[in-house]
Structure formats: structure tokens, C-alpha cells
A and B are shown apart, each in its own frame.
Chain A
Amino acid sequence: MELVAFIIALAIAYQALKGYRLTKQKPLWYTHFGFAVLSAGLLIDSLAGLLGIVARTLRGTITFTSIGYSIYFFAQLLAYSILIYAYVSQTRTLNTPTSPVLLASLSGFATLQAAPGIVARLLGSMVEYHPGSEILLLFLVFYVAVQTGTNYSATKDRNALLVFLAFLLLALSHLFFILQPISPLLFVIGHLLQLSGFASFLAMLLRVTRNQ
């Protein structure tokens, strides 16, 4: 599934780069860079997963999947931070409706980090998809989803709806990854949500580039 997501993320990065070359608008450069980093993380994670399967088959001990996830986590962290910066820099000031959302997201994360006991009881033992990292990613993606949701409510543009839906599904996928210690099924649902999110990106891309 990560390979499919990698291809779609790469396509988004390419389209953003084309847009930047044409218009020299910085938000498009940030979008390109963010999705390029995300696609690299997805590729590494998917390859690490495949290697991990091979290693387990050969009774290997190298934890490819953990390394792959770590790299993917940092790639996501960087990618979503860049996208957040693109939105914040576009508004140019922190005295906008976006700042309360950002502050609420970061406050929520800080609160959870300050109550590790509660988190540990809720989330159980540490697993490959570390809950703490997924919580951070959830807040970052949630902020971007709110931004794109605000854009859709203002423009009522169908492509904007697809982008909002995509980020919302990605945020939900991280929520399910956090809850996966409860049931392995939640891990699968999380990945399906992630794939659906990227499918929404693909639908947007096909719509904007038709008749190009």
C-alpha cells in the first residue's frame, strides 16, 4: 500500500514543481518539497517492509521494518511541518484564525506528552508504530486538514474538498495507528484509511490535470 501512496505523493510533488516553475509561487515550492519528502519516506518504508518480510523468512534479525518506520516518521514530520509553514507563511501573521487551531493542536499534544501514564494505560505497550510519534503526526496532519477544510468551506471547490478529505483520512489513519494495540484490525483499517487518503489526492490530481 505504501508503494501506491509513494507513486501518488510523487505525482503531487511533480505537479507542484511544475506549478512552481510556471508561477514562482513559494507555497507551491513548499508543497512540492513536502510531498517529495513524504514520497521518499513512503518508498523507504515500503522497501523496508519488503526487506523485513524477507529477513523474517530467512530468520533474519535485522529490524528493517523498525528502521523503515523511523525514517518514514521523520519524513512525515518534515513534510507536514513544511506544509504547515506554507499555510502559516501565506497568512503572514499569527493573528489569524489559523493560529488558535495550531495552538490548540500543539497544546493537546503537549498535554498528552505531560501525562505519559494516562497515555500508556490507554495505548498499552509500545509497538512498532510508536503511539507518541503517531500522536504528534496526528496533530500535525489535523492542523493541515483544518486549513484545507477552511479553504473548502470558503471556495466550495470540489478539488478543495478532495484535498480536505485526503488530509482528514490521513489524520484518521494516524488515530487508528495510535489505537492499534487494542486490535490488529485497527492497524489494517489505518492503512486502508491512509490509502483512501492518497486515492483522494489522486482523484484531485486527475481532475486538475484533465484537458491539460
Chain B
Amino acid sequence: MKIYVDIMRVIQREENRAKPTRILYGANLSYDRLLKHLDELKTLGVIEEIVESDDRFYKLTQKGIEFLNQFRAVERFATAFGFAI
């Protein structure tokens, strides 16, 4: 779960348009693991892949944006009580 959120946050930080290499360094993952997680996130429908002139980008879907907002609220709630997520 935490890795998914890290990847999605990197995409969001890149103004919702992140190349795989940016995500790789931002989320601190190996390339194989990154591809695996990106496929899983695409299957969940929270990110989508965009191909433009041989360049590949990833962006958050509306579902992904809503999930991040919910997770942020949960994180703030848990932190308020002193629980680590």
C-alpha cells in the first residue's frame, strides 16, 4: 500500500505527468519492481499510461486522485492520534 501511494505521489508532484525514470528515483524502486507496481496500479484503475511520440508518461485517473485525497485524510487522522501508517 505504501509503495503504491509513494508512486502515485511522485506522479502527482510531477504535475500529473511523470516518466518512468522520474517515478523510479522518486519512489526509490528498482526498475523491475516499478514496472510490476505500475501494471498493478493500472489494473486498479488509479493511473493510466500515455504514449506520445515514443515517450511514455503516467498520470493519475480521477479515481487515483480521489484515493490520494482519502489516503491523505487517513494519514492526517492517524498522525493526530499518534499512529503510524
Contact = CB atoms under 8 A, between A and B. Distances in A.
B79 A207 contact: no
A87 interface: yes
A151 B83 CA distance: 9
Interface in B30-85: 69-74, 76-85
B17 to A, nearest CB: 22
B77 A208 contact: yes
A153 to B, nearest CB: 11
A159 B80 contact: yes
Interface string A14-38: 0110110011110110010000000
Interface residues of A, number: 31
A160 B83 CA distance: 10
Given A22-B70, A22-B74, A157 B80 contact: yes
Contact of B74 (A23, A207, A211): A23
Interface of B: 1, 69-74, 76-85
Contacts of A147: 82
A110 B82 CA distance: 28
A19 B82 contact: no
A199 interface: no
Contacts of A162: 80
B31 to A, nearest CB: 27
Interface centre among B70, B76, B77, B81 (most CB of A within 10 A): B81
Contacts of B83: 25, 27-28, 31, 86, 90
16 contacts: A18-B70, A18-B74, A19-B74, A23-B85, A25-B78, A27-B78, A31-B81, A86-B83, A148-B82, A155-B79, A160-B79, A163-B81, A208-B73, A208-B76, A211-B69, A212-B72
A209 B73 contact: yes
A207 B75 CA distance: 12
Interface in A186-212: 204-205, 207-209, 211-212
Contacts of B80: 157, 159-160, 162-163, 204, 208
Most chain B Cβ neighbours within 10 Å, of A15, A18, A19: A19
A27 B83 CA distance: 7
Interface centre among B72, B76, B80 (most CB of A within 10 A): B80
A162 B73 CA distance: 15
B69 A157 contact: no
Contacts of A31: 81, 83
